[in-house]
Structure 1
Amino acid sequence: MKKLKIAVQKSGRLHDESLKMLKDCGIAIDNGRDQLKASAKNFPMEIYYLRNGDIPQYLIDGVVDCAIIGENLLIEKGSDIAIAERLGFSKCRVSLAVSKIFEYDSIADLKGKRIATSYPETTRRYLAEKGIEADLHIINGSVEIAPNIGLADAICDIVSSGSTLFKNNLKEVEVILKSEAVLAVSPSIPKALEAILDKLRFRIQSVLKGRDSRYVLLNAPNDKLEAVMAILPGMRSPTVLPLAQEGWSSIHSVVDQDVFWEVINQLKDAGAEGILVCPIEKMVL
C-alpha cells in the first residue's frame, strides 16, 4: 500500500505540537533517535523531519504530499499551496515593530525607512498595498536586534507573546497577518493518496472538535427541564434520563468551550444542580 508522506518541523515547538496532534489522531510513529524519516506503525504514513523553511518547496515539488506548517511561512514561500485544515496551535502574528522611542503615528512613517525582516515577500506585499516604499534588509535569525545596532529603523517578524519585542525595547505597530499551524497539501499529491489524506483529515477534525468542546452532565427537577434544555441544545438535542429520585432527571450534553462559563451560569440560574464537566478526547460527527 502506498504511504502518505507528511513533513513536520525538524525541531522546536511546532515539531512537538505536530507530533502530539498525530498521536492524538491515534497514529503511532516508530521514531528512532536523530532520524530524518520515520514510519507510522498503524497508519499508511511516512513522516519527514525537515527544516521549517524548506517545507514549502518540498510541497511544491511533490517530495512530500502534505505538511504541518505555520501559515505565515506558507504565505511567505508557498502561497499557491492549499490549506486542508487549520489546526489551532502555534498561533502567532507577523507584525511590524519599531523602537520604543520611534514616534510612530501611521504606516506612512515608514516611508523610505530601513526594515529588517525574515519575511521579505510578506513585508513587500503589505507595504505595496499601503503605497509605502521602504528599504528591506533580509535577515535570517535575530531580526529584533537590528534597530538596536543601527541596521534598521523597523523590523517585520513573527510575534507570539510580545516578550521578545519588549526585551529589545521594541513596540508592535502594525499587524500584517495572523497565523496558526495548518495542514497544507502538495498541489501534485497523487490521486491514489487522496483517500488516505481524507482519513487523516477526518481524525484531525474529530480531535479538534473534541478539544473545543466539553461534556456536561447535570441534574434538574422535571418542572425545569424545558428551561434547562433550551440552554443545552447539544449536537442534536440533550440526552435526558430519569433519576432514582422521583421528579428529577439527569441531562447530558456538549458545550462549546468558548461559551462554557456563560452557559454554566445560565444553567445554575435555570435550576440545574450537580453539574459535572468532562473533557472530550475526540468527537466524531
Structure 2
Amino acid sequence: MVLRIAIQSKGRLFEESMALLGEAGIKMNNIKRTLLIPAKDFPVEVLFLRDDDIPQAVATGVADIGIVGENEFVEKNEVSDIIKRLGFSKCRLSLAIPKDENYSDIKWFEGKKIATSYPHILNKYMQENGVKSEIHVISGSVEISPSIGLSDAIFDIVSSGGTLVSNRLKEVEVVMRSEALLIATKGLSQEKRDILDELIFRIEAVQSAEGKKYVLLNAPEDKLDEIFDILPGMRSPTVTPLATKGWCSVQSVIEDKRFWEVITKLKASGAEGIIVLPIEKMIL
C-alpha cells in the first residue's frame, strides 16, 4: 500500500515542500522531469502537478493527499479535508490600485475593472461588501494590467510587496491570508490513513524543532530556582547532580529568537560551561 501525495512541480512551494519531506526522512532520487516517483524507505509516491491542479487531483482521488497553497485551495473550491496547516509559503491575496489614486474604502472599486487569477475569491469578497465590479480573469503578469489600460486595479498574491512597488501599485485591501495546507481526499482507507498519521507525526517532529536550541549548562544548586525562571523548557528543565558538590547540570530548550537575552541572564545567574546545540527533530 502506497500513499500518493501531490506537490507543486516548481517554485517556492515545491522547494519548501520537498525540504519538509526530506527533513521528515522521506527522500527521492531523480525528481527532475519525472511526473511520479516513489520515495525511498517510506510508502509514499510523489505526483508533481501545477499548483492549481492539486485541489482537483486530491478531491477526485487521483492523489490521496496534497500540499497546496490555501489561495489555490479556496479558489478551486474542491471538496477535500484540510489535515494540517503547514506554516510556510505564507502570502496574502490583496487588492491593489495605481499608486497615485486616492483611496478611502472598498466602495472605490464600484464599477471598476479588476484583473485577477482568483475570480472566485474576489467575486465572493465583493458580494460580501456590496460592491459591483468588472472582473477580468488573467493568467500571469496580472500586475501590469493597470499600466497597459486593461484594468483599473488588480487582485493578486502579495508576499514582500516589491512587485507592486515596481509596477507603481499600492496595496489597499487584504482579502485573505494564505499558507501551505496539507489536504486529503475524503474516505481514505485505514491502511492509507495509517501511513498519513506516520507522515504527520514526522512533520510535527520537524516543525516542533524549528526556531529552537538545546541548552546544557552547569549551575550552583542555590541558583536553580532563579535559572528555572529563565529556562522554561517543554515542561521543566532536566537537572542532573554533578560530581562537584553543590553543582548540577541543567538541560533545556529555548527559542532561538530569545537566545542572547536568555544566555545573558543565565550568565548573570551564575551559570557556567554553557553549550548550545541545534535541534533537528523534537518529539513532544
Assess same fold via TM > 0.5. yes
CA distance in 2, matches of 1:277, 1:77: 46
Aligned to 1:65: 64
The alpha-carbon distance between structure 1 residues 111 and 264, as it changes in their structure 2 partners (threshold 3 A), is farther
User: Aligned to 1:152, what secondary structure does the other structure show?
Assistant: coil
Report deviation, 1:216: 1.7
CA distance in 2, matches of 1:246, 1:81: 61
User: Aligned to 2:248, what secondary structure does the other structure show?
Assistant: strand
Residues 29-40 of structure 1 correspond to what in structure 2 (within 5 A)?
A: 29-40=28-39
Residues 124-135 of structure 1 correspond to what in structure 2 (within 5 A)?
A: 124-135=123-134
The one-letter code of the counterpart of 2:205 is: S
Aligned to 1:142: 141
* Structure 1 range deviating more: 258-267 or 20-29: 258-267
CA distance in 2, matches of 1:284, 1:260: 21
The one-letter code of the counterpart of 1:204 is: I
1:102 aligns with 2:112: no
Aligned to 1:227: 226
CA distance in 2, matches of 1:79, 1:221: 60
In structure 1, stretches of 5+ residues that fail to align are none
- Deviation per residue, 1:236-266 (Å, 9 max, x gap): 2111223455433221101234554554454
* Structure 1 range deviating more: 156-165 or 185-194: 185-194
The one-letter code of the counterpart of 1:88 is: G
Alpha-carbon contact 2:3-2:192 (below 8 Å) kept:
yes
Would you say how many aligned residue pairs link Structure 1 and Structure 2? 284
Alpha-carbon contact 2:206-2:282 (below 8 Å) kept:
yes
User: Aligned to 1:73, what secondary structure does the other structure show?
Assistant: helix
Report deviation, 1:176: 1.0
User: Aligned to 1:34, what secondary structure does the other structure show?
Assistant: coil
Residues 172-251 of structure 1 correspond to what in structure 2 (within 5 A)?
A: 172-251=171-250
- Deviation per residue, 1:36-80 (Å, 9 max, x gap): 000011001110011111111111111100011111111111364
The one-letter code of the counterpart of 1:213 is: K
Report deviation, 1:132: 1.4
Alpha-carbon contact 1:62-1:189 (below 8 Å) kept:
no
- Deviation per residue, 1:171-206 (Å, 9 max, x gap): 111111111112111124333310100000000000
CA distance in 2, matches of 1:79, 1:107: 28
Residues 20-35 of structure 1 correspond to what in structure 2 (within 5 A)?
A: 20-35=19-34
Q: CA RMSD in A?
A: 1.8
- Deviation per residue, 1:81-121 (Å, 9 max, x gap): 22212222211111111110111111111111111111111
User: Aligned to 2:18, what secondary structure does the other structure show?
Assistant: helix
The alpha-carbon distance between structure 1 residues 192 and 101, as it changes in their structure 2 partners (threshold 3 A), is same
Alpha-carbon contact 2:56-2:78 (below 8 Å) kept:
no
CA distance in 2, matches of 1:282, 1:48: 26
CA distance in 2, matches of 1:258, 1:189: 40
CA distance in 2, matches of 1:15, 1:100: 33
CA distance in 2, matches of 1:85, 1:200: 11
CA distance in 2, matches of 1:120, 1:201: 32
* Structure 1 range deviating more: 231-240 or 272-281: 272-281
